Amino acid sequence: MEVWLMLCLIPALGRAALSGLYVDNGVDRTVMARTLTRSERREVEHEILSLLGLSSRPQRAPPDSAAPQFLLDVYKSLLDAPLDDLNLSGRDLNAINESDVIMSFASRSEAHLSGLRHERGRRLWFDVSEVPVGERIVSSELRLFLSEGTALQRATVSVYQLVADDGGDNALMLVDSVSAGPAGGWLVLNVTGPFSSWVAFPDSNLGLYLSVHLPDNPAHEINPEDIGIVSSKMDAKRQPFMVAFFQSSGHHMAHSRKTRETQRRTKKKADTSAAESSYSPRTFTDSSIHWSSRSCQIQTLYVSFRDLEWHDWIIAPNGYDAFYCSGECNFPLNAHMNATNHAIVQTLVHLMNPSQVPKPCCAPTKLSPISVLYFLDESNVILKKYKNMVVKSCGCH
């Protein structure tokens, strides 16, 4: 509903282009609302980006890597299938259910470490500078892929946090360990502690150290590749990555709304009036749209990300069904209008004194969220749940 209302404030100037906005034409067909001028298109993009909590449009085509695939699987499961089908742990399921934001990070470097007694392990470093400010960290995991049948016996895979000691050298602090065997698959290690410290103190981010030992000789360290752990230089879809789960504070969304409201208040009243006139639902220039005075009900509104040419950075969905509420709330208010008791009283008073008391308004009575999966840059991907984005039902208020 907010998307529809904000479009009513856009002035009509410049050259036309696809709007990406599809609405009900009043005769049970969905058509493009109208074409937009360049300035209108820029304004639409700016407003929707603000609604998504983004200051600018990411400029990145999706690469082929393991991190986006993991989040795409989670995204699909949120839409179509129970999360249990992903064979996730109970900890993962709880984190997904609790989270408003899930963010993945591809490894930026992997190398042997100098100056350490352990020389066969691997260093992994992740850029966490894009973590949104004010988000509460639920948990974070390091995911490593183990090729099936490579490990001839069970091995212990450990991850350490690199910390600077008092002498300025690197030291290792054990974070988590898992057992790896011939079955292969994704190994998951809990790295919530290091991740939280990196976000709070960015200068402390020296990365992680991956170490592998065999049970018959725990003092001897072996190369991770020797037991089949895929490195960042190997199969792109199975490279190491980190994933973090957040509960959104809503701060950036509130800030975005406040910014938009301030901008709108600074516009001249004449411009606003002209904009509302040019974008009135009854004055679309597309002659195929015929608006009727039907009673209050839900109407079609689809926003196409592909028409807006955002498919190079939004992985999913291609667009979303926002819907909106439209129609009259006339006496008598029938049961299908979902009228509140107050609306019924207001309707009666309006009949007696129409110049002083307006009719009730047709507005959403139930809203649902959507999830959007998109790239921030070439190594960071976000799956975010946006509340109150889809109208599910309408009523008179």
Same domain (yes/no): 277, 322: yes
Q: What is the pLDDT of residue 149?
A: 65
Q: Is residue 193 part of a domain?
A: yes
Same domain (yes/no): 240, 255: no
Q: Is residue 80 part of a domain?
A: no
Q: What is the pLDDT of residue 253?
A: 43
Residues 76-96 pLDDT 10s: 877 765 554 455 777 777 888
Q: What is the pLDDT of residue 60?
A: 63
Range of the structural domain that residue 106 is part of: 101-246
| 197: pLDDT strictly greater than 70 | yes
> Looking at residue 136, which CATH number applies to its domain?
2.60.120.970
Same domain (yes/no): 194, 262: no
Residue that is last in its domain, among 212, 246, 280: 246
Q: Which of 127, 131, 139 is nearest to 205 (CA)?
A: 127
Q: What is the pLDDT of residue 238?
A: 83
Give the 3-state DSSP-derived string for 31-69, with helices as H, strands as E and coil as C: EECCCEEHHHHHHHHHHHHHHCCCCCCCCCCCCCCHHHH
Residues 259-293 pLDDT 10s: 444 444 444 344 433 333 333 333 333 433 344 45
Same domain (yes/no): 309, 178: no
Q: Which of 385, 384, 377, 312 is nearest to 105 (CA)?
A: 377
Same domain (yes/no): 257, 242: no
Residues 337-366 pLDDT 10s: 777 778 888 888 878 888 888 888 899 999
CB 20 within 8 A of CB 303: yes
Same domain (yes/no): 223, 300: no
Residue 255's alpha-carbon distances to 53, 56, 252, 259, in angstroms, are 9, 15, 5, 6
Residues in Cβ contact with 10 at an 8 Å cutoff, skipping those fewer than 6 apart: 36, 40, 43, 44, 275, 279
Residues 216-242 pLDDT 10s: 777 788 888 888 888 766 676 788 899
Residue that is last in its domain, among 246, 268, 296: 246
| 333: pLDDT strictly greater than 50 | yes
Same domain (yes/no): 362, 296: yes
Residue that is last in its domain, among 246, 281, 299: 246
Same domain (yes/no): 233, 139: yes
pLDDT band at 246; cut points 50, 70, 90: very high
pLDDT band at 34; cut points 50, 70, 90: low
Q: Is residue 65 part of a domain?
A: no
Per the structure, the count of domains in the chain is: 2
Q: Is residue 279 part of a domain?
A: yes
CB 242 within 8 A of CB 142: yes
What whole-number distance in Å separates Cα of residue 313 and Cα of residue 48?
A: 14
Q: Is residue 290 part of a domain?
A: yes
Q: What is the pLDDT of residue 18?
A: 62
- 0.75 exceeded by the pTM? no
Q: Is residue 265 part of a domain?
A: yes
Vertex 173, ends 144 and 96: CA angle to 5°?
45
Q: Is residue 77 part of a domain?
A: no
Q: What is the pLDDT of residue 195?
A: 96
Q: Is residue 68 part of a domain?
A: no
List the beta bridge partners of residue 390: 368
